[in-house]
Amino acid sequence: MEEETLLAQVTDKAMSWLKGNYDAETKSEVQRLLDSEDKSKLIDAFYKDLEFGTGGLRGIMGAGSNRMNIYTVGSATQGLSNYLQKEFSGLDEIKVVIGHDCRNNSRRFAEISADIFSANGFKVYLFEDLRPTPEVSYAIRKLGCQSGIMITASHNPKEYNGYKAYWNDGAQVLGPHDKNIIAEVNRITSVDDIRFKGNKNLIEIIGKDMDKAFIDEVKKLVLSPESIDRQNDIKMVFTPIHGTGGTLVPDALKAAGFTNIIRVPEQDVISGDFPTVVSPNPEEPAALDMAIRKAIETGAELVMATDPDGDRIGTAIRDEEGNFMLVNGNQTMLIYLYYLMTRREELGLLTGKEFVVKTIVTTELVKEIAVRKGIEIFDCYTGFKWIADIIRKNEDIRKYIGGGEESYGFLAGDFVRDKDSVSACTLFAEIAAWAKDKGKTMYQLLQDIYLEYGYSKEVGISLVRKGKEGADEIESMMKNFRSNPMATLGGSPVTLVKDFAKLEAIDYVRDEQIVLEMPTTSNVLQYFTEEGTKLSVRPSGTEPKIKFYIEVHSTAKSREELVQAESEANGKINLIRQELGI
């Protein structure tokens, strides 16, 4: 009976699109969905409205309230405009920045958004062509804007597009603004409420000057210019995987002093179809295959790849036998933060007011390094807006030197307030030059970190569950974890459980409940064991997935012992996977 009720509801909603002031192409697609015997696509397209998650608005392109199209983009932009007018009513002029990536329809959505903002009387700065997400964040701050948007679905498959909304500090929108914007969007009950007819006089095209200013800021982050001078010819392969990274990363590397940047011509082709990869996600090993082949062919030492909107970075380095190994997001974080803290220590730049940030699902080994070096570390939720929130709250108190998350996002400077692959690529190359100056490879540097601070291994597993049925299944899984808490993990007793939905933790060793101090609740569960294992479980905020993050620890006293440590870690991880049935 519930299915019949749901089908009736989505049918009514779809019929309203046929009657409304929508274009012929949209109405034709809606009619096809209504006429199809398989009603699952109709239900998926209309059973809900797209909402802002940890990464904003994101969905499959097509007709429907749960799809990315000019009307859902239009509603989001009009709702955001209405909210900005309320929040900044005292200003003579409200200003916004608009950027977009390489995806199909991205330019169209960006231009339509520019028209809507300008129709609402806003000054609009529209990038001339595709640009990385971090440059949009930077431009908002530099131009003194109140908001901005980036049209992108990040690393999602080609069927997707999305809409990231930013506030006046250059960070993605946080509460209460996110919910208030959604409330404004929900008040738009008709497509006729959207002001599509723009004012071209209020739209200014920006590009090259902003690129130069951004790269100048990246150059200021360099801590080892002498090492770069001596090792400037390190061979490195870079690929934007058909996306925005190609507009800034090579120029930033050159500006820092690197002279031997090797490209992958096939992947320099800008395309929303991502023709050379199954997925344009640098977290996926296959996405780097072509770049690694180019590195083997040319004798390069490093491989760097960026996702379509240029905020994530994937890397590969040569191991002790000269073969390329992928560096995962946790390892990248370790390398980045170890370097930034160690190098500042070497240069005498630590004043006691520095801090770093990691997300709660990122390796705890980062915390060990920071604690030993006397540098404050903050934990936050997944999503870079939370890192940006901590930066903002500490602006006049402490100095931010770096932060990131296990999902291949990092930010080294605070002139941007989102993850930034441009500065991250430059920093990765700089670290390679610094290590080489000390007679080490990047692989040996990573080994040294493990030997000094302890070995850890982290694995992320995602279970994809699409559509409404999938969303229901994920909700059921989270309820089951809460109703039946795990007593052991990998043979080790669970000593601490954190439930961020309740902002409560139970310490079984001390037999006490703890209040978790976080800015808001989040649907995340964490288990910690006696021997240091950590398991985190959470539904994705941007994709139809439930994610499991497993972290195990061991020790090694020599490079040779690291092999045994990894073997033991793999055994623990496999046992935990069996216990979880994943």
- What domains can you pick out in the chain, each with its CATH number? 48-206 (3.40.120.10), 224-453 (3.40.120.10), 455-580 (3.30.310)
The DSSP-derived string for 338-362 is HHHHHHHHHTT---S-EEEEEETTS
In what side-by-side order are the strands of the sheet with 57-60? 57-60, 160-166, 147-151, 95-100, 123-127, 203-206
- Looking up tokens 């934007």 gives 240
- In eight-state DSSP terms, residue 549 is E
| Burial profile 137-164: b = 16 or more Cβ within 10 angstroms, e = fewer | bbbbbbbebbbbbbbbbbbbebebbbbb
Encoded amino acid at 445, one letter: L
Residues pairing with 459 in the sheet: 550
3-state secondary structure of 45: helix
* CA atoms of 454 and 89, how far apart (whole Å): 54
Sort 108 into a burial class: Cβ within 10 Å, 0-12 / 13-18 / 19+: middle
The predicted pLDDT at position 253 comes to 98
Cβ–Cβ under 8 Å, residues 58 and 542: yes
Q: Which of 316-320, 356-360, 483-487, 502-506 has the lowest mean pLDDT?
A: 483-487
* CA atoms of 26 and 21, how far apart (whole Å): 10
> Is 257's pLDDT higher than 70?
yes
* Alpha-carbon distances of 156 from 124, 126, 164, 317, 331, rounded to whole Å: 27, 24, 14, 25, 23
| Burial profile 502-540: b = 16 or more Cβ within 10 angstroms, e = fewer | ebebbeeeeeeeeebebeeebebbbbbbeebbbbbbbbb
pLDDT band at 56 (very low <50, low <70, confident <90, very high): low
> Is 54's pLDDT higher than 60?
no
* Alpha-carbon distances of 234 from 228, 253, 280, 303, 493, rounded to whole Å: 9, 11, 26, 11, 47
Residues pairing with 488 in the sheet: 493
Q: Cβ contacts of residue 44 below 8 Å, gap of 6+?
A: 64, 66, 466, 467, 468
Q: Which of 185-189, 204-208, 304-308 has the lowest mean pLDDT?
A: 185-189
The predicted pLDDT at position 51 comes to 76
Give the pLDDT confidence of 238-253 residue by residue, as tens digits.
999 999 999 999 999 9
Residue 334's closest CA among 451, 480, 171? 451
CA atoms within 13 Å, Cβ hemisphere of 344: 24
The predicted pLDDT at position 50 comes to 79
The predicted pLDDT at position 360 comes to 97
pLDDT band at 578 (very low <50, low <70, confident <90, very high): very high
Residues noted as catalytic = 154
* CA atoms of 323 and 116, how far apart (whole Å): 52
The predicted pLDDT at position 175 comes to 85
pLDDT band at 540 (very low <50, low <70, confident <90, very high): confident
* CA atoms of 254 and 260, how far apart (whole Å): 9
The predicted pLDDT at position 542 comes to 67
pLDDT more than 90, % of the chain: 89
Residues pairing with 314 in the sheet: 305
> Is 455's pLDDT higher than 50?
yes
pLDDT band at 22 (very low <50, low <70, confident <90, very high): very high
More confident residue, 468 or 169: 169
* CA atoms of 120 and 198, how far apart (whole Å): 8
Structure tokens given for 428: 């990765």
- Looking up tokens 């597993």 gives 461
* Alpha-carbon distances of 209 from 142, 213, 313, 420, rounded to whole Å: 12, 6, 24, 19
Range 220-232 average pLDDT? 98
The predicted pLDDT at position 181 comes to 86
Q: Cβ contacts of residue 518 below 8 Å, gap of 6+?
A: 380, 381, 500, 503
* CA atoms of 284 and 328, how far apart (whole Å): 10
Q: Which of 180-189, 284-293, 560-569 has the lowest mean pLDDT?
A: 180-189
* CA atoms of 136 and 418, how far apart (whole Å): 9
Cβ–Cβ under 8 Å, residues 505 and 483: no
3-state secondary structure of 214: helix
> Is 1's pLDDT higher than 50?
no
> Is 452's pLDDT higher than 90?
yes
* Alpha-carbon distances of 181 from 98, 117, 452, rounded to whole Å: 17, 14, 47
Cβ–Cβ under 8 Å, residues 387 and 107: no
Give the pLDDT confidence of 68-107 residue by residue, as tens digits.
999 999 999 999 999 999 999 999 999 999 999 999 999 9
Cα 422–61–388 angle (5° rounding)?
A: 35
Give the pLDDT confidence of 544-559 residue by residue, as tens digits.
899 999 999 999 999 9
> Is 55's pLDDT higher than 90?
no
Cβ–Cβ under 8 Å, residues 139 and 210: yes
* CA atoms of 170 and 190, how far apart (whole Å): 31
Q: Cβ contacts of residue 145 below 8 Å, gap of 6+?
A: 95, 96, 97, 125, 139, 168
3-state secondary structure of 489: strand
Give the pLDDT confidence of 518-539 residue by residue, as tens digits.
999 999 999 999 999 999 999 9
pLDDT more than 70, % of the chain: 99
